[in-house]
Amino acid sequence: MRLFKRKAGRAEELRIPRHIAIIMDGNGRWAQKRGLPRSAGHSVGAETFRKIATYCKNLGLEYLTVFAFSTENWKRPAEEVASIMALLEKYLLEAIEKMEKEKIRLHIMGNLEPLSPRLCELAAYATETSKKLDGFQVNLCLNYGGRDEIVRAVRKYAQEYKNGLVGDIDEERFGGYLYSAGIPDPDLVIRPSGELRLSNFLIWQTAYSELYFTDVLWPDFTEAELDRAIEAYSKRNRRFGGV
């Protein structure tokens, strides 16, 4: 774990996680509190994501995983879903333009089949470009659900086992069938907005992650809020089932 000194006048050194995962929650409520359409909250939330991702890179994180759109989010009003998809397309375009210059890799986690051809095209291009880069990696969970991921992994393993391509299953082998294959599990999971649950996010990968909850809605989430989460993480004793 890397260390950094807080800038708030304290010389305390904190452990920087290798991998932070964030459930970007509260965009709609943020907008409704201000009498704005929910799409306005998603727009501000997207800007918050850009700001926090840059801050994580500058802190020295290796991986940042964010929950952008879940398999359950299709139940939302069609207008809201359309605005989210438009924002995702805009983000992917911007990310592709900056990836090589800023040495940021982008990995898409989720079932892309129901998405528009344009989004799938951008996701594929970002994935291919990332293979040529080293450094900070952003994992974007898009049309993602933890249970769906596990079911898909089981089906893929079962087919390969049936065809005689693989042997008996174990945890390490099973992990290779997940969207997160080759990526270390999150050290810290952050959920803004006051909700106290994971909501089907990285069910397998978060078995030993430290969890941090805050009442701050995602559009209001700042670098200082991230510092507080890392400070809380630094004070925890991760035993992984040991003493």
Which residues have a catalytic role annotated? 25, 73
User: Distances in Å between the alpha carbon of 78 and those of 73, 82, 83?
Assistant: 10, 6, 9
Q: Are 1 and 18 in contact (CB under 8 A)?
A: yes
Give the Cα separation of 76 and 70 in Å (integer): 11
